A and B are shown apart, each in its own frame.
Chain A
Amino acid sequence: MKLIPLFVILPLAAAFLISLLGKQKRFFCDIASASITFILFVISLATIFNINSQILPMIYKVGGWLPPMGLPLVVDNLTAFMLLIVNFIAFIVSLYSINYMEKFTAKLKFYTLFLLMLGGMNGVLISGDIFNLYVFFELASIASYALVAYGNKAEELEAAFKYMAMGAVGSLFILLGIAFLYSNASTLNMADLSQVLSAQGTNKAVTFVGILFILGFGIKTAIVPFHAWLADAYPAAPAPISAMLAGVVTKSLGIYSIVRIFFNIFGVNPSFLNLLMFLGALSIIVGGLLALGQTDTKRMFAYSSISQVGYIILGLGIGTPLGILGALFHLFNHSMFKSLLFLNSGAIEYATGTRNLEKLGGLREKMPVTANTSLIASMAVSGIPPFNGFFSKLLIIFACIKSNHIGYGIWAIVGSVLTISYFMKFQKNAFFGPLPKELKDAKEVPFLMQASMIILSIVCLLGGMVMLPKISNYFTEPAKTVLVQGKDYSNLIFKVLNEK
């Protein structure tokens, strides 16, 4: 209970201290960032065990003010699940960037912005107040805009400006939505809001607010009509940041916020679910088709990321417990293998200096660790049986068929075939075939980069084990229950508050 605020305090304090003290000691920022993210990972593990032992959500009342007055921090099963993913990926990424960021000059600013972004994401996950969520959302977004422009080359600035212009408009839509919501319900606390809105019954203002929120959070999630920024921003950012953006930022800022607001506050209705399913299916196919034609590895992974996020949205849109379980499981898997793929592409760029698939080839001999981990990641993302991606895609397709959406099920299978085809292209062009002359002296990357890729590939290999009841009862099942029970969320929170 006392540990909840640490998720925000620790990264913010570390960001401040690194920018203050990092100049004197050269290794201070490396050690500080890696240890802080490791501590956060341990705390999030402790949180997930803690919350499973007591079933009810944990609430921290900031300054002792009771809701609906104060700004409570709430951790329930869904939040604990997301916190574990976010902090694990952050730890791996900060290990990786110790070596990778050596080639950039301003490592200090990188760590400061990285930790600010992490603090913002953790804040979005634990906040129990809708305006507080917006503030943390903006904190994470602004840090990520600056990180995309980090390399300071012409293309990177262009991508960052595009991302930022779209992101700023999206945030304005969210703020407008919050303003309408407050003028309608006179409260901003999520649990209170849920009760006030159900007392009011159906309401046109809420539908309008819903549309504003889908626009705003949809831009951050990069579902298909709003995806234009993503394919430029991911390749422009440094590799660890692409891994963060693809792995966790779109999920915690986009999918988590949509799910929390629509499932737990507004309550779902069939037309909203149909919209989600349609957008998800559209993302799967459009992302897959666009990825096929790419020659830049990172740009290919960026489009692939749109396609895989489409599966998550499709699974959530089905709305049955099985579909939601599949979606959450795919969310976990996608964070793991897509982060791993971006780290691999960063390793290739580190060793050879290029990301163009036409100039690469035959790296299997030279870089065995990168080759094998990226083979595991490619097989996991395409859904080859022993790896984790297979099980989650299977669950989503089963859920489609069980709920009589056979068309969407076939659509998802077609998307999966597309995925295999572009990952075969990536593997063949990068690691097999003859070695070009320019790459004769390519070397394997340093130890810490190898270690972080190996850890993620082990998680990909064993990720299917999450399906076993013993693990799933701690991990995905309780998170699913939070979404299935929908508007009971507010009752649970008021129950916890009234006990004390």
Chain B
Amino acid sequence: MTYFLCLVLFCVGLYAIVRKRNIIKIIIGIVICEYAVNLFLVLFAYKINGRSPLYSPDQEITTMADPLPQALALTSIVIGLATTALLVGMAIRLYEKYGTFDITKINHLKG
């Protein structure tokens, strides 16, 4: 069920990227997609009744969440931050040049 909701979140993001005409909404779509993927990474690492992946020598650990995908999610959050910052910076410059956020009006390039 949670996996399905994750997929729905990803599709919401894709819909925003494909259908929306406002640049800011497209950027938000990309960010939503990123969060869906990060959520998916953390979700499949979780085990039912699992505990946090901390090693301690005095107890035997049987159910533990997989720590590797959490590290991957952290890395991908950092990459996502760089992407989003660059996109937003570019959107600001585009607004300065064209005076609009509407992608149908930003159309100097053809062919």
Tell me the A residues contacting B by CB distance below 8 Å.
131, 135, 138, 142, 145-146, 149, 152-155, 157-161, 164-165, 168-169, 171-172, 175-176, 178-179, 182-183, 186, 188, 231-232, 290, 293-294, 299
Contact = CB atoms under 8 A, between A and B. Distances in A.
Given A152-B93, A154-B98, 5 more contacts: A131-B75, A158-B94, A161-B106, A175-B37, A179-B44
A138 B17 CA distance: 19
B34 to A, nearest CB: 6
B19 interface: no
A472 to B, nearest CB: 39
Contacts of A155: 108-109
Given A135-B75, A168-B87, A169-B17, A154 B26 contact: no
A176 B30 contact: no
Given A154-B108, A179-B69, A160 B37 contact: no
Contacts of B87: 161, 164-165, 168
A219 to B, nearest CB: 13
Contacts of B108: 154-155, 158
Interface string B80-94: 001100110011011
B37 A142 contact: no
Contacts of B10: 176
B111 interface: yes
B40 A172 contact: no
B86 A146 contact: yes
A290 B26 CA distance: 28
B79 interface: yes
B90 A172 contact: no
A254 to B, nearest CB: 18
A183 B111 CA distance: 42
B90 A179 contact: no
Contacts of A138: 79, 82-83
Contacts of B14: 169
Contacts of B76: 175
13 contacts: A142-B79, A142-B83, A154-B108, A158-B106, A161-B94, A164-B83, A165-B26, A169-B17, A171-B79, A182-B69, A231-B111, A232-B109, A290-B111
A185 to B, nearest CB: 12
A294 to B, nearest CB: 7
B111 A165 contact: no
Contacts of A175: 37, 76
B40 A179 contact: yes
Contacts of A157: 90, 93-94, 97
Contacts of B61: none
B69 A142 contact: no
B40 to A, nearest CB: 6
Interface in B57-111: 66, 68-69, 72, 75-76, 79, 82-83, 86-87, 90-91, 93-94, 97-98, 106-109, 111
A142 B82 contact: yes
Given A164-B90, A165-B17, A158 B33 contact: no
Nearest to B40: A179
Contacts of A183: 44
Given A172-B37, A294-B111, A299-B111, A165 B30 contact: yes
Contact of A169 (B23, B30, B66, B97): B30
Contacts of B11: none
B28 interface: no
A175 B38 CA distance: 9
